[in-house]
Copies of this chain bind each other. A is one copy, B any other.
Amino acid sequence: MAETLATSRRNRTKEHLQLALIDLIKEKGFQAVTVKDIVEHSKYNRSTFYIHYHDKFYLAEDLLNSMLKGLEEAVAKPYEMRKKVDTVKLNANSFEIITYIYENRNFFELINFQDTLPELHTKFPKTILKIYQEKFQFKTVNNMPVDMDYFTRYTAYGFYGLLTHWINTRFEATQEEFIAEVIRLARTHMEAVKYVGDFNTLKQ
């Protein structure tokens, strides 16, 4: 599983091409970026580009996939999101996603742009959802008044909304502030769900 010498050298070059693409999208939009631009910006030979990628779309795909893969991997182990508010296992450590996005903000800022990486605007939220579904385990309880699948989707896209806002405001809030805000919203949400559940139980 150890990265061979060969691939590490190749990967380095690929990364530089990817970085060039990011810069150029911000500068002139994905549409207008040419392979020539990319190699001039990254100071490689045009031939070198074609050794690694068939065209700019393959480069774009590789870039997007590796960033979203990184995002998933940043959240290694599953967390428990218990229903009971006072024992909720939500804390700053639960948000490696946020740290990852912040550390790679040069990339994630691309969502600010219209003419940007193909599929970024669809695959990014889908990945957030996937993470929520696979890594966050919301504990169901007997009087849970909502469908768990819907609950997860709702929560994930809510979080996505907060994320895009954070990115769009150029990370005005610090990581800590943002995490605190997210936790506060999630807690409130769960609390509300719990109350509704209890209320329904009472009615019966």
Residues of A within 8 A of B (CB): 8, 11-12, 15-16, 43-44
Specify how many copies of this chain sit in the oligomer. 2
Q: Which residues of B contact A44 (CB under 8 A)?
A: 12
- Complex: how many Å from CA A8 to CA B15? 19
- Complex: how many Å from CA A27 to CA B114? 33
| Interface of A, helix, strand, loop or mixed by DSSP | helix
From A43, which residue of chain B is reached at the shortest CB distance? B12
The 5 closest A-B pairs by CB, nearest first: A12-B43, A8-B43, A16-B16, A11-B43, A12-B44
6 residue pairs A–B, Cβ–Cβ below 8 Å: A8-B43, A11-B43, A12-B43, A12-B44, A15-B43, A16-B16
Give A76 Cβ to nearest chain B Cβ, in Å.
Answer: 22
Give A197 Cβ to nearest chain B Cβ, in Å.
Answer: 46
From A16, which residue of chain B is reached at the shortest CB distance? B16
From A5, which residue of chain B is reached at the shortest CB distance? B45
Q: Which residues of B contact A43 (CB under 8 A)?
A: 8, 11-12, 15
- Complex: how many Å from CA A130 to CA B20? 33
- Complex: how many Å from CA A44 to CA B11? 11
- Complex: how many Å from CA A1 to CA B15? 30
- Complex: how many Å from CA A12 to CA B44? 9
Give A24 Cβ to nearest chain B Cβ, in Å.
Answer: 15
Give A192 Cβ to nearest chain B Cβ, in Å.
Answer: 38
